[in-house]
Chains A and B, each alone.
Chain A
Amino acid sequence: MNIDEVSRVFKDLKSMIEPEAQISILSSNRLIITTSTDKLELIANLLKNYGFDHVKSVTAIDYPMKNIIEISYLISSFNNLNLSKIILTLKTLIDRNKSISKSLYKVWPSVEFLERETYDLMGVFFEEHPENTSLILPEDYKDIRPLRKDFKLIK
């Protein structure tokens, strides 16, 4: 994909989502949109209408020093082969102590197991997710969620 097309998509998205969210370029073919949790679903719907039809990954990153958890949805397209060359990261920051976010299941059903895994291993509760139950860990797991930074592996 040439630079022109990425910049065209970039301009389109910029005019579409601002001022609710900010868009930036990570590298060629990789764009980042940052937004707040309450605007997340709105932006997601806009992106879906633009042609991004599935989610590749839900990455939660724990920052205990800043007391936040960063959730990134990696979004791309199967239908539109131009858009499928881009991986768009939809980022939102949530409070680490509460760790509640909004599920995007209604927008993209493909997030289902990815969000469930994130809930399981990082302890981020996704509101309106059909099944916020354990996927990998035991059902009665009560300890610190393993992917949090304060969970230490025994050396």
Chain B
Amino acid sequence: MKTSLSKQQDNRKEIELFIGPQHPASGHMRFIGRVDGDIFTNFIPDPGWVHRGIEKIAENRKWIQIIPLVERAAILDAANMNIGYVIALEKLLDIEPPPRAQYLRTLLCEINRITSHLYGFGIAGIMIGSSTFYMWPFADREPLIDIAQLITGARLTYSYMIPGGVRRDLPQGFKEKALKALKYIERRLNNDYFRIFFDNPVTKARYQEVGVLKRDDAIRLGIVGPNLRASNVKYDVRKVEPYAAYPELEFDIAYEKEGDCYARLLVRVEEIRQSIKIIRQILDALPQGPIIHKKYEKLVSLRKLEEYQKTGIFGLPAIFTVLRPPAGEVISRVEAARGELIFHIISTGELRPYRLRMVTPSFRNIVLFRELISGARVMDFPAIYGSIDYFPPESDR
């Protein structure tokens, strides 16, 4: 299609518009559009500029080494990528992490969901020309990244979850710091963000009734995540197939009925509120106990065990270098920040997976570019792109 498009020169009324591939917005990505006047008559997304071949590399890595690898799909949503893979691996190994580990995992996932949505807001803001709303959410990620760094020791690439549990316990005085950060972000979101952006008539004029995705179309195209929920489909993996500590936590599915760009943004706002609610519940109801499965706790050296009991940092047992899950097939799904993340793993009982299939939410949303932008005006393109919250590295893998 890419080549055939440039060959079709018979219709002289239309011109071709190439957008990208040098980082047009949230990442390296090319779009090929045909423009008639101000209207896109055809619009083709062309991903693949940041393809790293995670699925192929994974076939050449040990099971434990894939944990940092899958995070690289979406660096700003690392914890959710991580938990999807670890859940799949745990199903193969047939182990269940202790409750405290489940809560800690959920905590990090929700912190990550907030930071990821804020990142999306920033990109959406700069795309319709609001540079203030580019700076604010990007800056306000920082307190949350800071508290994630307190838990894991890294800003973005956490590699926090391991089969059987998590690597570290919470440090001293974490709860106070986290509550402060939540209060800060809540105030900014509910007051400042609404005043300067979401309630701003300029924003509404750009977003409302633009790029409308109807409910049936969303289902037909297999859209996921906030984009699906903005079209009035109440599908959230955290409710449909609860994992980690989600069955014990109280939250609502954020959804909107309109299905336009503005609705997609509002769903993310509501999701941040729900995430804050979840984190507060976790901090209050964090169960005591070990952070790693008993089976692995026994396997670390005495020195490491002492350290674990003293500081809460669990050393990896040596068996992780030669982890051989039994042969089998496993499918896991989790709700990452941008939608449903699927891992389909085939194990043959070897040191490395036989096949690892990773379907990221952005890849499933890519079809939206063609569906929503064909027929839209040229200046609606940035508005629609920003509202989809598409992230090319996540899509390309």
Contact = CB atoms under 8 A, between A and B. Distances in A.
Direct contact of A and B (CB under 8 A): yes
Interface of A: 26-27, 29-30, 53-57, 59, 61-62, 72, 74, 78-79, 81, 84-85, 87, 89, 108-110, 112-114, 117, 121, 131, 133-137, 139, 146-147, 151, 153
B47 A78 contact: no
B221 A109 contact: yes
B192 interface: no
Contacts of A153: 56-57, 60
B355 A136 contact: no
B55 A139 contact: no
A147 B55 contact: yes
Interface of B: 1-3, 46-48, 51, 53, 55-57, 60, 91, 218-222, 228, 233-235, 240-241, 329-331, 333, 340, 342, 344, 346, 354-355, 357, 359, 363-364, 366-367, 396
Contact of B220 (A27, A61, A110): A110
B357 A146 contact: no
B233 A29 contact: no
Contacts of B53: 146
A29 B222 contact: no
B340 A56 contact: yes
Contact of A84 (B57, B240, B357): B240
Nearest to A138: B48
A74 B2 contact: no
Contacts of A74: 331, 342, 344
Candidate in A30, A84, A121, A136 with the most chain B CB atoms within 10 angstroms: A136
A57 B344 contact: yes
B222 A54 contact: yes
B222 A110 contact: yes
Chain A facing B: main interface SS: mixed
A1 to B, nearest CB: 8
In the A-B complex, the 9 residue pairs with the closest CB atoms: A110-B222, A136-B48, A54-B222, A59-B357, A57-B359, A136-B51, A78-B219, A61-B355, A59-B344
A112 B344 contact: no
B219 A151 contact: no
A100 B48 CA distance: 24
A93 B359 CA distance: 21
B219 to A, nearest CB: 5
Contacts of A131: 1
A110 B344 contact: no
A57 B344 CA distance: 9
A134 B51 CA distance: 13
Contacts of A84: 235, 240
Nearest to A55: B222
Contact of A113 (B91, B228, B366): B366
A110 B359 CA distance: 13
Given A113-B363, A146-B53, A153-B57, A56 B1 contact: no
21 contacts: A30-B331, A56-B333, A56-B340, A57-B342, A59-B355, A61-B346, A78-B228, A79-B219, A81-B235, A84-B240, A85-B241, A87-B331, A87-B333, A89-B331, A108-B222, A113-B363, A113-B364, A113-B366, A114-B364, A133-B2, A137-B48
Contacts of B364: 56, 110, 113-114
A57 B220 contact: no
Contacts of A61: 346, 354-355
A78 B235 contact: yes
Contacts of A109: 220-222
A110 B221 contact: yes
A121 B53 CA distance: 9
Most buried by A among B47, B60, B329: B329
- Scoring A30, A135, A139 by chain B CB atoms within 10 A of each residue's CB, the highest score goes to A135
